[in-house]
Protein backbone atom coordinates (compact mmCIF):
# COMPACT_ATOMS: atom_id res chain seq x y z
CA UNK A 1 0.00 0.00 0.00
CA UNK A 2 2.79 2.40 0.86
CA UNK A 3 4.54 1.53 -2.40
CA UNK A 4 1.44 2.50 -4.37
CA UNK A 5 1.26 5.84 -2.56
CA UNK A 6 4.95 6.51 -3.16
CA UNK A 7 4.54 5.62 -6.85
CA UNK A 8 1.51 7.90 -7.14
CA UNK A 9 3.40 10.69 -5.39
CA UNK A 10 6.38 10.44 -7.71
CA UNK A 11 4.06 10.37 -10.74
CA UNK A 12 2.25 13.39 -9.31
CA UNK A 13 5.50 15.30 -8.96
CA UNK A 14 6.39 14.55 -12.59
CA UNK A 15 2.95 15.66 -13.81
CA UNK A 16 3.03 18.78 -11.58
CA UNK A 17 6.39 19.82 -13.03
CA UNK A 18 5.10 19.28 -16.57
CA UNK A 19 1.91 21.27 -15.82
CA UNK A 20 3.74 24.22 -14.22
CA UNK A 21 2.98 23.44 -10.59
CA UNK A 22 -0.64 22.23 -10.61
CA UNK A 23 -0.75 19.12 -8.41
CA UNK A 24 -3.34 16.63 -9.73
CA UNK A 25 -5.90 14.82 -7.56
CA UNK A 26 -4.63 11.76 -5.67
CA UNK A 27 -7.18 9.14 -6.81
CA UNK A 28 -6.46 9.55 -10.56
CA UNK A 29 -2.74 9.40 -9.77
CA UNK A 30 -3.17 6.10 -7.93
CA UNK A 31 -5.20 4.69 -10.84
CA UNK A 32 -2.60 5.89 -13.35
CA UNK A 33 0.34 4.41 -11.42
CA UNK A 34 -1.54 1.11 -11.06
CA UNK A 35 -2.24 1.09 -14.81
CA UNK A 36 1.43 1.66 -15.57
CA UNK A 37 2.62 -0.98 -13.13
CA UNK A 38 0.10 -3.63 -14.11
CA UNK A 39 0.58 -3.17 -17.85
CA UNK A 40 4.35 -3.43 -17.45
CA UNK A 41 3.97 -6.54 -15.27
CA UNK A 42 1.61 -8.26 -17.71
CA UNK A 43 3.93 -7.46 -20.63
CA UNK A 44 6.90 -8.87 -18.69
CA UNK A 45 4.99 -12.07 -17.98
CA UNK A 46 3.86 -12.57 -21.58
CA UNK A 47 7.10 -11.62 -23.36
CA UNK A 48 10.35 -13.59 -23.17
CA UNK A 49 13.19 -12.17 -21.09
CA UNK A 50 15.12 -11.11 -24.17
CA UNK A 51 12.38 -8.55 -24.87
CA UNK A 52 12.32 -7.02 -21.37
CA UNK A 53 12.91 -3.52 -22.70
CA UNK A 54 9.87 -3.87 -24.95
CA UNK A 55 7.69 -4.54 -21.90
CA UNK A 56 8.80 -1.21 -20.44
CA UNK A 57 7.92 0.56 -23.69
CA UNK A 58 4.50 -1.14 -23.70
CA UNK A 59 3.99 -0.08 -20.08
CA UNK A 60 4.87 3.52 -20.93
CA UNK A 61 2.44 3.59 -23.88
CA UNK A 62 -0.46 2.09 -21.94
CA UNK A 63 0.38 4.23 -18.93
CA UNK A 64 0.46 7.30 -21.14
CA UNK A 65 -3.03 6.53 -22.36
CA UNK A 66 -4.19 6.02 -18.75
CA UNK A 67 -2.66 9.33 -17.64
CA UNK A 68 -4.27 11.04 -20.62
CA UNK A 69 -7.63 9.56 -19.66
CA UNK A 70 -7.44 10.35 -15.94
CA UNK A 71 -5.60 13.69 -16.01
CA UNK A 72 -6.89 15.25 -19.23
CA UNK A 73 -3.41 15.70 -20.72
CA UNK A 74 -2.53 15.17 -24.35
CA UNK A 75 -1.38 11.66 -25.20
CA UNK A 76 2.08 12.86 -26.23
CA UNK A 77 2.73 14.67 -22.93
CA UNK A 78 1.28 11.85 -20.87
CA UNK A 79 3.47 9.26 -22.65
CA UNK A 80 6.49 11.44 -21.88
CA UNK A 81 5.43 11.59 -18.21
CA UNK A 82 4.94 7.81 -18.10
CA UNK A 83 8.33 7.14 -19.67
CA UNK A 84 10.04 9.48 -17.19
CA UNK A 85 8.20 7.70 -14.37
CA UNK A 86 9.33 4.26 -15.58
CA UNK A 87 12.91 5.50 -16.06
CA UNK A 88 12.96 6.75 -12.47
CA UNK A 89 11.55 3.44 -11.24
CA UNK A 90 14.19 1.51 -13.20
CA UNK A 91 16.95 3.74 -11.82
CA UNK A 92 15.78 3.27 -8.25
CA UNK A 93 15.51 -0.49 -8.78
CA UNK A 94 19.05 -0.65 -10.16
CA UNK A 95 20.42 1.32 -7.21
CA UNK A 96 18.56 -0.67 -4.55
CA UNK A 97 19.01 -4.14 -5.99
Asked if 35 and 63 count as a contact pair (C-beta separation under 8 A), the reply is yes
The domain tally of the chain equals 1
Residue 72: pLDDT band (50, 70, 90) is: confident
Question: pTM for the complete prediction?
Answer: 0.79
Distances (CA, A) of 46 to 5, 23, 34, 35, 93: 27, 35, 18, 16, 21
Q: Distance between CA 33 and CA 18 in Å, rounded?
A: 16
Confidence check: pLDDT of 16 > 80? yes
Please write the tens of the pLDDT for every residue from 20-33: 777 788 888 888 88
Confidence check: pLDDT of 48 > 80? yes
At residue 49, the 3 state secondary structure works out as helix
**Predicted pLDDT at 33:** 86
Mean pLDDT of the chain: 86
Domain that holds residue 17: 2-96
Size (the chain), residues: 97
Amino acid sequence: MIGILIAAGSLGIIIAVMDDGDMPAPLPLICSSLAIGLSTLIAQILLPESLALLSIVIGALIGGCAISLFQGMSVKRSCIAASIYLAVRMGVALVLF
